[in-house]
């Protein structure tokens, strides 16, 4: 049924008629494609933007629930809010998704595969998300095999601005946030905080004990322009989280396990522009620290824990001798560190990675933009890795139609755990490598009131790291292939009505040659997913909306013996302004109380209602 629905959606988007002529919605600016700001119609890669208006309108708490409405994204969550959560792009491993917060790489060096746990990342004061799909290690280095998820907090307002909100709902859930920002002369800055608390649900699907969760997130920005050419940029992000979870082996059951996280993210950069902006430089130091402690019983000393840090130095230069050409080049040095304690032992490991890259962006004639680049990374353990990438965007009609094509190579360095763990580590591991191709078309109709995008993609990954049961160590034993199509549709037939829809088909399979797994679908990656959102602004101030997301069948294991049934989720929402600065809002998630699973034997939320207030100045 899902397949027929998806085909019908594509047919509908392809047949969308031209609507009444009106003003253009304007060009979007993206950063993740090349590491610098570019109009999206100069980029040949597939990128989805979730802006501040959408984040506020959807009322979503978990970042992954927003990501799930974009094409090419699949996720799995271990039970209650705060449970371990992974995001897969175009069928890649969750550890092959590179994650940035305000430009800082936040993948955890203390994780088994350096993945990022999205379970503690709530919308809070996040104001923009860019999702780049496809390999792009030329710009971003290790882990950008499936793609990149870049999250940004709000830039400081001109003058002064303040915002706050509070909501309450199902399972004694309280969510609050506030931020203030402003600009005075050459100094601008802002600070924000968000707090979330819930009794949650049982992480074990058959459990009866609720697993609670608390999360505090803070962010700050400061920019000082010493002159028109020189500025200092400081950014910080912090997460403190405390989650109860059920740890079970075999039959699922309630347990008293607790996990606590402290995550520190920092950025300090100097920006210099010379020759009327034709040469710009950025030198920055970034820092990530993840402290993760685990307890079998709350109130006792930590039984085991991990600390992962990553100190990076970045230099980026941009030369634009003419308006039609740019050269982006840079050097990066990073030092990931890993520390473990527990069960009567400790472990420490670290590495050094030095990288250089260059990227050329040219527009040989009106309507055509071509980008190509190369990167070399030198790892202190396994040596060097060189990656290439190129993309092109051509518009014959001033941006109304864009033809896109891209080729990207990706690599992922072995994690410190995979290299150096005393029981299963393998110091001879090679980096995972990928080659990614895609071709797409974007069509804008009726001065931007209707926008359609279609993309086809293929990715081959070799030397993928997995646990080798023959040697009881990690090895480069996997090969995988993913191919598929993505479609998005945005309609605004009248100013008051907005509709957005996305569809993706992903065929991600094992190509390792191992008899038990070869040809099998990769686990927890449904082939098909559709999401449709509709919002309407009534003349008397009320705003209403609904989102329906349908996800197809998948498997929980690599041998495809444990099925996960497909599901459909519906949610409704509304908001109403009271005066100029005040607004009340509410939503109902999982409206029809669907019973489903994104990970076998883990619980999910049923129908849940929430209501809140917002104030803005």
Its pTM stands at 0.94
Please check the confidence at residue 20 and state whether its pLDDT lies above 60.
no
Average pLDDT over residues 110-123: 95
Percent of the chain with pLDDT over 90: 89
Average pLDDT over residues 110-131: 94
Average pLDDT over residues 326-351: 95
Query: Which residues lie across from 596 on neighbouring strands?
Result: none
> In sequence order, what are the residues at sequence separation of 6 or more whose Cβ sits closer than 8 angstroms to the Cβ of residue 266?
104, 235, 236, 237, 286, 287, 288
| DSSP code, position 431 | P
Q: Distance between CA atoms of 199 and 246, rounded to whole angstroms?
A: 14
Class of domain 2-616: mainly beta
Q: Distance between CA atoms of 246 and 145, rounded to whole angstroms?
A: 31
Residue 257 host element (H or E): strand 257-274
- State residue 592 phi and psi, 5-degree precision: -100, 15
Torsion sign, CA atoms 41, 481, 509, 94: negative
**Cβ of 250: how many Cβ atoms within 10 Å?**
6
Please tell me the least confidently modeled range out of 160-174, 238-252, 302-316, 436-450. Answer: 238-252
Torsion sign, CA atoms 491, 493, 494, 497: negative
45-93 pLDDT tens trace: 999 999 999 999 999 999 999 999 999 999 999 988 999 999 999 999 9
**CA distances for 506 relative to 92, 355, 462, 512, angstroms:** 10, 32, 18, 18
Query: Which residues lie across from 590 on neighbouring strands?
Result: none
| DSSP code, position 96 | G
572-612 pLDDT tens trace: 999 999 999 999 999 999 999 999 999 999 999 999 999 99
Please check the confidence at residue 386 and state whether its pLDDT lies above 70.
yes
Please report the pLDDT score of residue 12 as a whole number.
34
* Stated length of the chain: 617
3-18 pLDDT tens trace: 443 333 333 333 333 3
Cβ atoms of residues 95 and 144 within 8 Å: no
Please report the pLDDT score of residue 16 as a whole number.
32
Closest CA relative to residue 54, chosen from 573, 604, 578: 573
Domain ranges of the chain: 2-616
């Amino acid at each position: 049924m899902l397949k027929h629905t998806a085909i019908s959606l594509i047919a509908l988007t392809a047949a969308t008629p031209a609507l009444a002529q009106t003003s253009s919605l304007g060009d979007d600016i993206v950063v993740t494609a090349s590491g610098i700001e570019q109009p999206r119609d100069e980029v040949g890669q597939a990128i989805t933007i979730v802006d501040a208006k959408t984040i506020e309108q959807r009322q979503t708490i978990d970042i992954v629930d927003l990501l799930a409405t974009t094409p090419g994204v699949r996720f799995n969550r271990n039970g209650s809010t705060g449970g371990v959560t992974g995001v897969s792009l175009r069928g890649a491993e969750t550890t092959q998704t590179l994650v940035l917060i305000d430009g800082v790489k936040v993948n955890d060096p203390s994780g088994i595969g350096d993945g990022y746990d999205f379970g503690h990342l709530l919308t809070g004061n996040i104001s923009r998300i860019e999702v780049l799909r496809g390999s792009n290690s030329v710009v971003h280095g290790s882990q950008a095999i499936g793609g990149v998820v870049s999250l940004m907090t709000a830039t400081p307002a001109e003058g002064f601005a303040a915002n706050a909100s509070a909501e309450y709902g199902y399972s004694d859930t309280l969510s609050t946030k506030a931020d203030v920002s402003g600009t005075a002369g050459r100094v601008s800055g802002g600070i924000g905080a968000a707090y979330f608390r819930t009794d949650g649900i049982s992480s074990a699907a058959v459990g009866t004990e609720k697993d609670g969760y608390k999360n505090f997130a803070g962010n700050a920005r400061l920019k000082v322009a010493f002159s028109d050419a020189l500025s200092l940029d400081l950014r910080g992000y912090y997460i403190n989280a405390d989650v109860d979870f059920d740890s079970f082996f075999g039959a699922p059951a309630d347990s008293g396990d607790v996990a606590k996280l402290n995550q520190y993210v920092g950025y300090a950069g100097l920006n210099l522009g010379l020759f009327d902006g034709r040469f710009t430089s950025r030198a920055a130091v970034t820092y990530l620290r993840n402290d993760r402690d685990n307890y079998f019983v709350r109130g006792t000393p930590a039984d085991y824990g991990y600390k992962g840090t990553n100190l990076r130095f970045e230099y980026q230069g941009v030369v634009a001798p003419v308006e039609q050409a740019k050269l982006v080049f840079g050097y990066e040095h990073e030092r990931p560190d890993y520390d473990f304690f527990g069960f009567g032992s400790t472990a420490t490991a670290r590495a050094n990675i030095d990288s250089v890259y260059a990227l050329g962006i040219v527009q040989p004639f009106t309507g055509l933009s071509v980008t190509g680049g190369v990167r070399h990374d030198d790892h202190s353990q396994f040596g060097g890795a060189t990656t290439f990438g190129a993309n092109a965007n051509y518009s014959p009609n001033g941006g109304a139609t864009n033809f896109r094509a891209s080729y990207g190579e990706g690599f992922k360095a072995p994690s410190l755990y995979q290299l150096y763990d005393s029981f299963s580590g393998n110091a001879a591991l090679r980096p995972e490598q990928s080659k990614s191709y895609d071709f797409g078309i974007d069509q804008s109709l009726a001065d931007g009131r209707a926008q359609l995008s279609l993309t086809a993609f293929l990715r081959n990954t070799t030397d993928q790291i997995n646990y080798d049961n023959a040697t009881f160590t990690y090895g480069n034993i996997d090969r995988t292939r993913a191919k598929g199509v993505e479609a998005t549709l945005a309609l605004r037939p009248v100013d008051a009505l907005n509709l957005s829809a996305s569809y993706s088909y992903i065929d991600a399979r094992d190509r390792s040659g191992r008899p038990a797994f070869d040809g099998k679908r990769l686990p927890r990656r449904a082939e098909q997913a559709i999401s449709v959102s509709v919002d309407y602004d009534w003349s008397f101030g009320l705003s209403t909306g609904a989102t329906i997301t349908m996800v197809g069948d998948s498997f929980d294991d690599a041998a495809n013996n444990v099925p996960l049934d497909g599901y459909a989720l519906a949610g409704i929402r509304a908001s109403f302004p009271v005066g100029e600065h005040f607004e009340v809002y509410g939503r109902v998630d999982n409206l029809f109380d669907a019973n489903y699973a994104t990970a076998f034997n883990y619980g999910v939320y049923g129908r849940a209602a929430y209501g809140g207030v917002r104030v803005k100045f």
